[in-house]
């Protein structure tokens, strides 16, 4: 007993020393404040708002596997009217409604692709401002696509239009890319990539949507931060099915299809089958955010060598978005059973969406969840499965180039790498480009994030000049 007591005392002493080291490190870590805010609105911002509003009034809703060329032809005609110099001087290629523009530069060894999609998701429900009215009110442009992502499409078209007015020739080849099938993961962007491949173009850098200037990216870290996505998780839709002989509901048997599905869901919710792990990119994100956090989070984020395991356990309570960066996730989204209240179903099904993390990719994650489903007598079908994308080197030249352009355009704005838990068109470029970042240069506060794919989508238009200037700087400094 005496030996055990001495061992426990030694362990406590070591823990106390480690905690003291962490406290000292935290006390000596300079505290920082993210003070960046978009400038007050001016004539330039208002003019940009009017242009974006016109783009929102053109309904470019897309539906899975549905071709609607007239809808996008109308949008393309609008782009010609809004950005005449772009269409006069750049080489335009239209591939089934998906647009690729080429602006020849002085050099051709480090071409840059600026991209964002034209299409938007359906606008359902009751809106404060009609989704395709393009209203400008309360310092915002309202409408479907305002933040996802016609703001970016506007930004790079406007940037090129203004640079052409100034007679600029870009240092490197510039490509503008915009698909019309992004919202349903269609074949639009792959067609653009195939065209670039045919031309022998291997982009040095691709900049798409995904990250952005996020307000309070993690609870307890106030202010605006440039969150630059460096890879995205994989995804799959999965259906679980339970079968039985059915029967009348007046004499129910145990282990019915719905009961087994419910037990399966409860099991996954209470006993998560997926491994948590902090990737180098996520670790870097927390370390970058540490100086901006209050003392408790600063202590944890700034000393991951000690608190990493604790943070992995606590993250779901801090941020669902942060927690999703640590592991494969599964969200149960759809369910079906019998057609009547008094009938036991012969078959019941459950739909789910999965997102795969690199340390437990598509094949392993699907095998793990299948094994759990089989314990409850469920069959599993997998649809639309793709694995995680390659990560851009956060210590590399290209990531530093983007960081420099952000700091140049938005003085005082902190920059952090970020893991995309959603999906973008950018992943289609990974076979021809090693440096892909996901960053839309506009401010996404809680209201804008809630409006994406939801009600009352909007963007505060005082951030639009910064959006245009970021793309200008990307073009003007290309090749550096």
Per the CB < 8 A criterion, the answer to whether 156 and 170 are in contact is no
Q: What is the mean pLDDT of residues 276-280?
A: 94
pLDDT of residue 200: 97
Q: Is the dihedral of CA 20, 23, 27, 30 positive or negative?
A: positive
Q: Provide the β-strand partners of residue 208.
A: 438
Per the CB < 8 A criterion, the answer to whether 403 and 228 are in contact is yes
Take residue 83 and report the two structure tokens written for it.
């950005």
Q: Which of the pair, 44 or 247, is modelled with greater confidence?
A: 44
Pair type for strands 247-248 and 224-232? unpaired
Q: What is the mean pLDDT of residues 85-93?
A: 98
Per the CB < 8 A criterion, the answer to whether 51 and 82 are in contact is yes
pLDDT digits (tens, 9 = 90+) for 208-236: 998 999 999 988 899 999 999 999 999 99
Structural domains for the chain: 43-232+389-476 (3.40.630.10), 234-386 (3.30.70.360)
Pair type for strands 91-95 and 329-336? unpaired
How would residue 246 be classed by pLDDT, with cut points 50, 70 and 90? Answer: confident
Averaged pLDDT score across all residues of the chain = 94
Q: Which of the pair, 369 or 26, is modelled with greater confidence?
A: 369
What phi and psi values does residue 319 have, to the nearest 5 degrees?
A: -160, 120
pLDDT of residue 254: 86
Q: Give the span between the Cα atoms of 394 and 406, in whole angstroms.
A: 15
| 177-201 core/surface letters (b: 16 or more CB in 10 A; e: else) | bbbbbbbebbebbbbbbeebeeeeb
pLDDT digits (tens, 9 = 90+) for 422-465: 889 999 999 999 999 999 999 999 999 999 999 999 999 999 99
């Amino acid at each position: 007993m005496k030996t055990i007591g001495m061992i426990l005392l030694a362990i406590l002493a070591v823990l106390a020393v480690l905690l003291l080291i962490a406290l000292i490190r935290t006390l000596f870590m300079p505290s920082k404040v993210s003070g960046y805010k978009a400038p007050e609105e001016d004539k330039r911002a208002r003019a940009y708002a009017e242009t974006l509003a016109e783009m929102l009034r053109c309904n470019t809703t897309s539906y899975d596997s549905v071709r609607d060329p007239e809808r996008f032809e109308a949008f393309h005609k609008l782009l010609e009217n809004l950005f005449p110099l772009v269409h006069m001087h750049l080489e335009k290629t239209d591939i089934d409604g998906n647009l690729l523009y080429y602006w020849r530069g002085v050099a051709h060894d480090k071409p840059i692709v600026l991209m964002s999609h034209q299409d938007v998701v359906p606008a359902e429900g009751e809106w404060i401002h009609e989704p395709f009215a393009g209203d400008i009110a309360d310092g915002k442009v309202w409408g479907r696509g305002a933040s996802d992502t016609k703001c970016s499409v506007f930004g790079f078209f406007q940037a090129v239009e203004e640079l052409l007015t100034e007679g600029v020739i870009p240092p490197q080849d510039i490509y503008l890319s915009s698909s019309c099938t992004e919202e349903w993961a269609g074949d639009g962007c792959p067609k653009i990539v195939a065209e670039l491949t045919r031309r022998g173009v291997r982009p040095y850098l691709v900049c798409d949507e995904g990250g952005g200037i996020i307000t309070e990216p993690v609870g307890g870290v106030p202010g605006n931060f440039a969150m630059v996505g460096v890879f995205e998780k994989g995804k799959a839709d999965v259906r679980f099915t339970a079968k039985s002989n059915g029967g009348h509901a007046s004499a129910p048997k145990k282990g019915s299809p719905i009961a087994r599905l419910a037990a399966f869901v409860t099991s996954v919710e209470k006993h998560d089958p997926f491994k948590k792990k902090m990737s180098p990119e996520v670790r870097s994100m927390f370390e970058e955010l540490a100086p901006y956090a209050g003392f408790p989070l600063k202590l944890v984020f700034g000393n991951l060598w000690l608190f990493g395991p604790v943070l992995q356990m606590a993250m779901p309570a801090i941020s669902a978005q942060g927690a999703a960066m640590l592991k494969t996730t599964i969200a149960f989204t759809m369910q079906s059973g019998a057609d009547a209240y008094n009938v036991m179903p012969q078959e019941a099904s459950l739909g789910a969406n999965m997102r795969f993390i690199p340390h437990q990719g598509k094949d392993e994650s699907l095998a793990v969840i299948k094994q759990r489903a089989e314990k409850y007598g469920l069959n599993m079908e997998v649809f639309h499965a793709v694995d995680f994308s390659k990560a851009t080197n956060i210590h590399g030249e290209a990531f530093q180039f983007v960081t420099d352009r952000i700091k140049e355009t938005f003085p005082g704005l902190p920059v952090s790498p970020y893991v995309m838990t959603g999906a973008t068109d950018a992943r289609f470029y990974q076979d021809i480009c090693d440096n892909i970042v996901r960053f839309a240069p506009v401010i996404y506060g809680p209201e804008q994030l809630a409006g994406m794919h939801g009600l009352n989508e909007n963007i505060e238009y005082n951030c639009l000049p910064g959006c245009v200037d970021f793309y200008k700087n990307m073009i003007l400094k290309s090749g550096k």
